């Protein structure tokens, strides 16, 4: 298994500002992912964080709004830029050791973001 | 949307009863996974069943998979109050996991 921590655990932000969420894994992993979960809803994949290269974004998510970094095999950040109330969600980081998306993913505890 | 659908959306039972949740999906899969999410927390992996498997057990959990019907079920036997959570199925789709809509399970002591 893998233990994943996220910082901050929650935040309340003003419209128009940006927030960077950090994700730390306790050991090297192959794949890291960022998800958004709106209140009472399922998870939607934002992007796959690629080590040493640009993240791969899903339809509806763009780099200017959600820049992602992954400088090494245990750490990634997601920035939510120019926030609006519609960005209020839980943001979850996950990691997979082996084959990637088809194998078990380990999740962080999430970051609960409220935008006023 | 290729998102899987789960039913029921919500389920309330008494401790000791069994809970059954169903998941339907739309595309061919390599495997199907079930996850649990306690309120306001991250997801915890419960079990993975591969497309060539029909049934899998883990403790009080029993998962079945019917690829001809594109459906799976999760059975929790002898439920406990601590089983109260949301349960999601997830299927692989080319290069990502697709999570179902989830079932909210409430177990009353």
Please list the rounded mean pLDDT of every run of 10 residues in chain A (116 residues). 92 97 92 92 92 91 96 95 96 82 83 97
Tokens found for residue A49: 């964080």
Contact between A75 and A22 under an 8 Å Cβ cutoff? The reply is yes
Residue A98: predicted pLDDT: 66
Q: With 0-12 CB in 10 A as exposed, 13-18 as middle and 19+ as buried, what is A112?
A: middle
Out of A42, A48, A58, the one facing B102 most closely (by C-beta) is: A42
Q: Tell me whether residues A58 and B96 touch, CB distance under 8 A.
A: yes
- Decide if B99 touches A, using CB distance below 8 A: yes
Alpha-carbon gap: B92 to the closest alpha carbon of chain A (Å)? 5
Residue B95 pLDDT > 60, yes or no? yes
Residue B50: predicted pLDDT: 92
- The alpha-carbon radius of gyration of chain B (Å, integer) is 13
Residue B85: predicted pLDDT: 97
Residue B26 — φ and ψ, nearest 5°?
-115, -25
Rounded Cα gap, residues A17 and A5, in angstroms: 24
Query: What's the rounded mean pLDDT across residues B88-102?
Result: 86
Looking at chain B, the whole-number percentage of residues with pLDDT higher than 90 is 77
Q: Which residues in chain B have their CB less than 8 angstroms from residue A48's CB?
A: 95-96
Tokens found for residue B107: 């177990």
Residue A64: predicted pLDDT: 97
Whole-number mean pLDDT of chain B? 92
Query: What's the rounded mean pLDDT across residues B8-26?
Result: 96
Q: What's the pLDDT band for B93 if we cut at 50, 70, 90? A: confident
Residue B90 pLDDT > 80, yes or no? yes
Rounded Cα gap, residues A106 and A77, in angstroms: 16
Q: Which residues pair with B20 in a beta bridge?
A: B75
From the list B48, B28, B36, B44, the residue with the least C-alpha distance to B87 is B36
Residue A40: predicted pLDDT: 84
From the list A83, A101, A87, the residue with the least C-alpha distance to A33 is A101
Out of B95, B97, B101, the one facing A105 most closely (by C-beta) is: B97
Do the strands B71-76 and B19-24 form a parallel or antiparallel pair, or are they unpaired?
antiparallel
Rounded Cα gap, residues A13 and A113, in angstroms: 8
Q: Tell me whether residues A110 and B41 touch, CB distance under 8 A.
A: yes
Extended beta strands in A3-63, E state: 4-7, 10-13, 19-25, 31-37, 43-49, 56-57
pLDDT digits (tens, 9 = 90+) for B40-61: 788 999 999 999 999 999 999 9
Residue B106 pLDDT > 90, yes or no? yes
Residue B96 pLDDT > 70, yes or no? yes
């Amino acid at each position: 298994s893998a233990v994943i921590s996220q910082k901050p655990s929650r935040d309340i932000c003003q419209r128009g500002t940006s927030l960077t969420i950090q994700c730390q894994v306790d050991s090297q992993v192959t794949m890291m992912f960022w998800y958004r979960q709106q209140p009472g809803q399922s998870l939607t994949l934002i992007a796959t964080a690629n080590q040493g290269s640009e993240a791969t974004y899903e339809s509806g998510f763009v780099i200017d709004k959600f820049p992602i970094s992954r400088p090494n095999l245990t750490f990634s950040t997601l920035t939510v830029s120019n926030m609006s109330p519609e960005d209020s969600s839980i943001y979850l980081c996950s990691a997979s050791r082996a084959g990637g998306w088809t194998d078990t993913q380990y999740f962080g505890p999430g970051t609960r973001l409220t935008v006023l | 949307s290729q998102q899987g659908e789960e039913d029921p959306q919500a389920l309330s039972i008494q401790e000791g009863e069994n809970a059954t949740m169903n998941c339907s999906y739309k595309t061919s899969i390599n495997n199907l996974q079930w996850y649990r999410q306690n309120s306001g927390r991250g997801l915890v992996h419960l079990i993975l069943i591969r497309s060539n498997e029909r049934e899998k057990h883990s403790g009080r959990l029993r998962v079945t998979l019917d690829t001809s019907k594109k459906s799976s079920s999760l059975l929790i036997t002898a439920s406990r109050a601590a089983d109260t959570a949301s349960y999601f199925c997830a299927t692989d789709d080319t290069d990502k996991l697709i999570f179902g809509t989830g079932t909210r399970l409430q177990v009353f002591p």
